[in-house]
Structures are given as structure tokens and as C-alpha cells.
Amino acid sequence: MDLDTKMEVNSIDGEKKEATMEVVLEEKSSSPEKMQTQPIPIPPEYPSEFDTRDYPHTVEIRKDKISAKYTGVGNHSNDFGSVRTNKPVPAGIQIYYFEVEIVNAGRQASIAVGFSTKDFPLTRQVGTAKNSTGYRGDDGKKYKDESAGQCYGPFFSTEDVIGCGISSHTNSVFFTKNGRSLSTAFEGVRGVFYPTVSLHSPDEMIRINLGDRPFKYDIEGHRADEKVSIRISRVIDTAIVIVRSQAKFDLMVQNTPVDEACLAPLVREYLAHSGYVNALKTFDEALGSDSEQHMMLTGLLPGGTTLGGSDTKMGASSSSKRVKHCLSGNAPKSRRQKKARAARHAEKSSGSKETNGDFKASKKGKDPFGLSRASDREAIRKLITGGKIGDAVELLRETFPSVIDDNLLFKMHCQQFVELMREGKSDAAIQFARGKLHAYKSLTPDENEHRCSVMGLVAYVDIENSPAAPLLSPSRRQDLAVEINAKIMIHLGLPPQSKLELLLRQLQASQEVLRECNHGMGAPFSLA
């Protein structure tokens, strides 16, 4: 119960009230005194008092050995009375700190507080001789190894408490006044130092606190802040080393010669795998070689096959004619059906079927990169990337009917709905959704969410500036085209990804692992 509550409870009886107040006041006033009379133990290797064997005659050290008074006249610069502690600052500690209470500032308050070495002349002001640092009260200047000081902090006088600390990590000296930091005063301070106080005018008197009493300044908080600073500094230093080593590694990689003979086959295989027939021809023309002859010699193209796409035996049912009709939309339906039957018959006769990634060596030997059907794959890709999804579905049914499954068809129908909305055909899109998208009943949660997102386009007047605008991104067409091409390649018994794609994915993964090993330092690696 606090003092106010005691007074209220006992207010009926005046005598009892007075007695209660005395007890409470006695309890409250006795605690701090008990704390004051119980000194904090100072470790034996730390300074504990002034050196009473070596000090100038102008100073009187009191019996408590922590108080000193100036007894000189103080008329000259060489009649200072400086006193230092009995031991130096211990080696290896993070921060050493002490405080000096100005009991009496005397006539001029020309008191200086700081550090000095063993050979410092005690008749000089600390900071004005070699290997010493100090902060003076009557001018607020800081001094280091010289007679002329530099402006630093406020003046100090009677009843002020001046603190001084040194950090072994930063090799810096800082000062405080009445529990407030005055920032770093000096850097690059190295040596074995003693806490030192200089007096210079009559009646000046100080009392030093070497840690046996609580400090005014929160030195523990200061230590904690510096520990954080040390950790940050180490992280930065580590980062610099990592960046430099990474730069050396990058330079080494850049300077490593790469045989172009190794690159050309990778690029060719990528273009062939992706069905970029025209790009493949252009690439070989740029290298001064004949695409078809080169492919046949290197095994990229089987005999009797052209970059136009189909086996010569297919004759009238060539992909180029079929694609032309599909793109123009003028091919009679009966004719398309005949071609579809011919394509299905060709697939059955070749024995193509899904292999789930278990690629057959025999097929790879005949047509290792699917060039015999490259024109068909290229036509499908161009239709998809051009936004003609309906035509792509029709051509896919004609050329690779067994590739189509419900999952793939659902994705193509969703993209077709997006294309209708992109063209502003909202009525046709709604009609299409009723006939196609609503027909899918067994969708996964992700597929159902995607359908809802796609159909949500009808809610916006300006879809290009709506929250659903990402659905219109050209990258969605490209992703769909890549997925369909991968399914076709699997259907043909070939890898779903080219060697160049696998190489780049490995590079991306390796860079990510390297960045993790470097503690996340450096910019994320990107192939863009």
C-alpha cells in the first residue's frame, strides 16, 4: 500500500495517521541510503582509487583515495595538478568507463578529465601532452596530444558529473555530461591508459567514480548498442569480402573461353525443340551453313525429312497446307475431318503414345528433336501466341489428338474466353462460358479459382486498367504455348524441355544456392 492510501485509511484517527506516515517515510528514505552505503565490488584488475604514491605537490588526495583537491596557485601552464588511478584500463574489455563529480569548480573551473599513459607529465593538463586525451570544463574543448584544443561540448562546473569512456573495438574515446552522451571525441586511440583528472585553479575539488557506485550514464545500454554495431560491422565486412570474391569469380567466369562449337548445337537444339523453324533456318544462314544438310549430318534431322515439317510420304497431307487452311479458316469441314483421320492414322501407324517422361531410344534415334512435326508445332504455337485459341484447339485436334486431355482443354478454353474479352466481345464471351467453361464439373480448387478469376473479367468495363489486367498479359499465351509444346514432345517420346532450357535452369538454381551460401547478399540472379 502506498503513502496516499495509508493517509486516507487512517484519517479518522489523527495520532494513528501521524505514526503511519512516519513508518512509511522511514521505509522510503532508508532504501536509497542502504544502496549508497553498499559499494559495488570492483574487479581486482580494474582501477579502484587514485595513485597515492605518484602525484604532484599541488594536489591533495583525500583519505578516501577517490577525492582530490587543488592546492596550488594555478598561474602557469606547467603547474597543473594531474592525478591518475592506481591501475591502467584492463586489456581486452569492450568498453571502460568512469565518471568524475565536480564537487567544487574553484575559481576558474579549469578541470580536465581524460586518459593518459604512464609517462604522462602530471604537471600538465591531460590532453596537452603526448599519449593523452582530455575534455576541459572552462572552454568545452577536447584535447589530444597537443596544447591547442578543439571545440567539442558544453562547459561544466560545480555539481556536474563528467564521464569518460574508451572502446577497444573502435579505439575511440567518448565523454558524457550528467548522464548524457557527448558523442565520440577521438578515434584511433591506442595504448595502455590510466583514467586521469587535471586540476588548475584554487579550491577545485573532484570525486572519481570507478564503478563502485552507480553511474549517471547508462553505460550498459552503451555497451549493448556497441555490440549491435560490432555485429553489423562484421556483417558489412563479410559482405564486402563476399562481394569482392563474387566479383573475382564473375570476372573469372567472364574470362573463361567458351568454344562456340559447343554453343551452336545448343541453340539449334532449342530452336528445333521449340518448333522455331524459320528462326532455325535464319540461324544457320547467319552461320553460313545449310540447315537441312547440317541437321542430317549431325542427326538432328532424319533422312527423307525436311524442315517444312512432315515426312515426304505424307504428301498431300503436309502440315504447311493444313496450317494455311486453319489460319485462314476457309478449309471445308469435311476436308478437315479427312485430314484429322489421316493424322490419327499416321499417329497410330507410328505407334506414338504418352511415355510420361520415359523417352524411347528408338524414337530419339529416328527423330531426336521432333523436327518431322516441327511445322505443326510451330503453327500451333503461333496461333496461341497470336490469341487465336479456337484455331489452335482445332489444329491440335487434327495433328495431335491424343495430346488433348481435359486439363489442357480447360486451360485453352479459359484463355479463349480471355481473348474474347480482350477483343471486346463480351456477349460472345458469356455465351462461350455458358457452353464451354460451365461444362467442367470436376475441377480442382485451383482450377475452379482460375475459372472464377477469368469469368470475373465481365465485371469490368475497362479490363486493361482493372485488377484483373494481369490475365491479359502476353506471357500467359507464351506459357500456354510452351506447355502444349512440352506435351507434344512427350507424346513424340522426346524430352519436354530442351538442353538449353535445362542448362539455364541449372544456372539459375546454382546462383540461388550461391546467394544462400553468401547469407543472401547480392542482387538476386535473373536471366532477364
Alpha helices in 329-373 (DSSP H): 333-350, 361-366
483 and 400 together in one domain: yes
Domain span at residue 7?
3-37
pLDDT for res 14: 41
pLDDT for res 528: 63
pLDDT for res 76: 80
63 and 152 together in one domain: yes
The answer to whether residue 505 sits within a structural domain is: no
24 and 119 together in one domain: no
31 and 127 together in one domain: no
pLDDT for res 470: 93
Cβ-contact 81, 122 below 8 angstroms: yes
DSSP labels, 427-438: HHHHHHHHHTGG
pLDDT for res 45: 94
Q: List, run by run, the mean pLDDT of 10-residue segments along the chain (528 residues).
A: 40 39 37 54 94 94 95 84 96 93 93 96 93 94 89 95 93 96 92 96 95 94 88 76 70 70 81 85 76 48 45 38 46 46 46 36 53 87 94 94 93 95 93 92 91 92 91 94 93 88 84 74 68
Our measurement of the distance from residue 342's CA atom to the centroid of its chain's CA atoms, rounded to an integer in Å, reads 58
366 and 285 together in one domain: yes
Of 217, 243, 278, the residue at which a domain comes to its end is 217
18 and 64 together in one domain: no
The answer to whether residue 44 sits within a structural domain is: no
Cell of 100: 568524475
31 and 106 together in one domain: no
**Residues 191, 129: Cα–Cα separation, whole Å:** 14
What total number of domains does the chain contain? 3
**Residues 55, 353: Cα–Cα separation, whole Å:** 102
List the helix and strand counts (H, then E) for the chain.
16, 13
The answer to whether residue 392 sits within a structural domain is: yes
**170: CATH:** 2.60.120.920
The answer to whether residue 28 sits within a structural domain is: yes
The answer to whether residue 25 sits within a structural domain is: yes
12 and 110 together in one domain: no
Q: Which residues, 6+ apart, have CB-to-CB distance to 34 below 8 Å?
A: none
Tell me which H or E stretch contains 116.
strand 112-116
Of 217, 246, 268, the residue at which a domain comes to its end is 217
The answer to whether residue 209 sits within a structural domain is: yes
The answer to whether residue 149 sits within a structural domain is: yes
The answer to whether residue 244 sits within a structural domain is: no
327 and 375 together in one domain: yes
Cβ-contact 352, 367 below 8 angstroms: no
User: Is this model's pTM higher than 0.75 or not?
Assistant: no
